[in-house]
A and B are shown apart, each in its own frame.
Chain A
Amino acid sequence: MIPSNDIPKDELWRDLVIKAQSGDKRAYSELLTDIVPFIKSRIAGGLANPDWVDDITQDVLMSVHRSLNSYIPDRPFKPWLGAIIQFRKTDFLRKHYKIKRTKESSLEDAEIFSKNVTFPSGYDELRDIEDALCSLPKKQRKIFTMIKVEGYSAKEVAKEMEMSVSAVKVSAHRSAKKMKDILS
């Protein structure tokens, strides 16, 4: 048997993904672990914030999970993975800058403040937090509020939102980071 180090990565990953498609959890775990450094190296360049690398990598892993059925084994694996990486990176940056733009406009807009701030006596303390919370997409805001404000567990939220636990955790983590970015 050829040691795995001697097999070109693409062939190795191709074999692992074929096994994963047939339900082999061990091969799948090995594949995901193995592709993480490759994903990170592909997304690291050109990012303004190095913290985003982990976020995008998690996004890519979940996308690989969702699109596992779309890999047809007669083609190399890397271009397939590369397309997903590029797609998720662009998607992430687009969302990020969209939220940033919303934030920029809302900070200068008194009307948006008056609409979003519901606790006038704590205006100074709450306005930025509330504004940041409002800038999150609806689904993310709900997950974040349920976990961080109402105290539900990720498992309970996953059941309520009909999502996987890992997706809920990633979303909550992502929201917290976005809030932090907005508030800093």
Chain B
Amino acid sequence: MSNKPNMKDLIEELSEELTEVKVVRNPLELSMFWSLLAITYIAVVIVVLGVRGDIDHKIHDPVYIFELLHVIAISLSAAICSSCLCIPDIRGQRWMLAIPTSLFAAFITWVSLRLGLESYDMSGFSWGHCHSDSIAFGAIPAFMILFFSMRGKTTHPHMMSLMNILSVGAVGYLGLRITCASDDIGHLLGFHILPYLLFGIVITIVGKRIFRW
């Protein structure tokens, strides 16, 4: 038997191997499904950990509300992009990738401005309850989105990694902002953003491997 397949043999073998396939869900449906699961999970973790003591006061703070809405927008748009990236041609919606990345750029600008304008102290930086809470908030949504992404066939593994990090990181950050009473920018950076940044670095490094098909 020759080990060099010609095109005809290959086509015959592939046709012989064919079985009925289940077409993937529409990306919008898939992202809504993930978002619903993630929000339900985050709500449960918030109930378990307890909301911040000053929540009655904070819900009247427009900056705080805007921040929460901003991260929700990042998470939702990134989840939709992640689902679209499961399809090789991104369903022709490549432009959509600009939405979460622009929102994230605005978020980073806002954090950078606060770092420049506000005083903060990171000298006592060590493992804190916010780090373990960030894992509690992020682990299940991360597992779910990776599971969905790995079932897809992406042709943009790095972009897929970025979108997954943004959707999980934003939803986790949202949970932490509702449970942790600290508004100090140093604390937000070191305890609420850094864990997801580290998770992001890991996913980016292994992204090409785990999304290979």
Q: Which A residues are within 8 Å of any B CB, using their own CB?
A: 20-23, 25-26, 28-29, 32-33, 36, 54, 57-58, 61-63, 65-73, 75, 79-80, 82-84, 86-87, 147-148, 153-155, 164-166, 169-170, 172-173, 176
Contact = CB atoms under 8 A, between A and B. Distances in A.
Nearest to A58: B10
B14 interface: yes
A70 B61 CA distance: 45
Interface stretch (B19-27, B40-48, B72-80, B117-125): B19-27
Interface string B1-27: 101110101111111111111111010
Contacts of A54: 7
A33 B88 CA distance: 21
14 contacts: A21-B20, A28-B18, A36-B11, A57-B7, A67-B153, A68-B21, A71-B23, A83-B88, A87-B88, A164-B13, A166-B13, A169-B9, A173-B3, A176-B4
Contact of A80 (B4, B10, B88, B152): B88
Interface in B121-138: none
Q: Is the interface of B mostly helix, strand, loop or mixed?
A: loop
Given A21-B20, A69-B24, A75-B89, A28 B5 contact: no
B24 A61 contact: no
Contacts of B90: 83
Given A23-B18, A32-B11, A36-B11, 9 more contacts: A20-B18, A25-B15, A29-B15, A61-B14, A69-B22, A166-B14, A170-B5, A172-B3, A173-B5
Contacts of B3: 147-148, 154, 169, 172-173
A84 B19 CA distance: 21
A112 B95 CA distance: 47
A153 B1 contact: yes
Nearest to B156: A87
Interface residues of B, number: 33
A62 B5 CA distance: 12
Nearest to A22: B20
A153 B1 CA distance: 8
Contacts, number: 112
B153 A66 contact: yes
B101 interface: no
Given A79-B92, A166-B5, A32 B24 contact: no
A176 B18 CA distance: 28
B92 A33 contact: no
Which of B7, B10, B91 neighbours the largest number of chain A CB atoms within 10 Å of its CB?
B10
B18 A72 contact: no
Contacts of A67: 88, 153, 213
Nearest to A148: B3
Contacts of B88: 67, 70, 80, 83-84, 87
Contacts of B21: 21, 23, 68-69
A73 B23 CA distance: 9
A162 to B, nearest CB: 14
Given A32-B14, A170-B10, A70 B24 contact: yes
B11 A29 contact: yes
B12 to A, nearest CB: 7
Contact of A28 (B4, B15, B213): B15
A41 B199 CA distance: 41
A75 B14 CA distance: 24
A42 B91 CA distance: 20
